[in-house]
Structure 1
Amino acid sequence: MKFSSTIKVTGMKFSKGKMDNGTEFDSTKVYVETELDSSKDSAMGTACAEYGLGKSDEYQKYKHLADSLPFMAIAEMEIVTNGTKQKTIVHSLKPIEPAKPSGQGVKNVAA
C-alpha cells in the first residue's frame, strides 16, 4: 500500500561496506518523529522510528540539509509484508521549505 505523509525528519545515516564473510551492505536509514501508542494509556508523546530509505546514495541527496535538522518533508511511503510481518519503507523525501516571513508583522495598536 503506497501513500504520502508529511513527516519530521530528525536524523539520517548510511552504511556501506563488506562484512567479514564477504557479504556487502548498502543502506540509508531515516529517523522520523513518530507518535507513541497511547491507546493503552501507558505512553504519551513521540519517539523516533527508523525507516529504510534505499541505498547509501540516498543519504548524499540530503547531506546539505544537516544544518536544517530536524526538517519537515513529504514522504512517499509504502507498507509491505512477507505474510507474517509488515514494515514501512520510505521511497523518497521532498523537504518542505519553511514559510518565509511576509515582512508584515502584527501591529500593536495602543488604546
Structure 2
Amino acid sequence: MQFETTIVVLGAKASKGEYNGRPFDSTKIFAQAELQEGENFAGFVSTDYTWGTSFNFERIKGLEYPFKAKAVMQIVSNGKDSKTIMLDLIPEKTAPKA
C-alpha cells in the first residue's frame, strides 16, 4: 500500500561500501515523530526510514535542516512483520544552507 505524507526531515545519512565481501549502498532519513499520548510521554522523537541508495543523499545533503518534505511511502510485509519504506522524498521549497 502506497501513500503520501508530509514529514519534517531532521537529518540524513549515506552508507556505501563493502562488509564481509558484500556491497551495501543506502540512505537513511531521520524524521520527526510524535510520542504516543500518555502520562509519561511528551514531545517528539526521531524515526528512521531507508530511502534507496546513497545517490538520494546527494540530492538533499546541501539543504538547510530541518525541512518539510512530501514523502512517498509504502507498507510492505513478509507475511509476519510489516515495515514502512520510503520510495521518494520531495522537499518543500528550501534554501541551500549558507
Match of 2:49 in 1: 51
Q: Which amino acid aligns with 1:4?
A: E
User: Could you give the per-residue CA deviations for residues 28-54 of structure 1, whole angstroms, max 9, x where no partner exists?
Assistant: 00000001122x533221100010000
Tell me which of 68, 75, 79 is aligned to 1:79.
75
Structure 1 runs of 4+ off > 4 angstroms?
A: none
Q: Which amino acid aligns with 1:34?
A: A
The structure with the largest helix share of the pair is: 1
**Distance in 1, Cα, partners of 2:39 & 2:78:** 31
SS at match of 1:64: coil
CA RMSD of aligned residues (A): 1.2
* TM-score, with length taken from structure 2: 0.89
The structure with the largest strand share of the pair is: 2
- 5+ residue gaps, structure 1, are 99-111
**Distance in 1, Cα, partners of 2:2 & 2:48:** 18
* TM-score, with length taken from structure 1: 0.79
Aligned length: 94
Match of 2:25 in 1: 26
> Percent identity among equivalent residues?
41
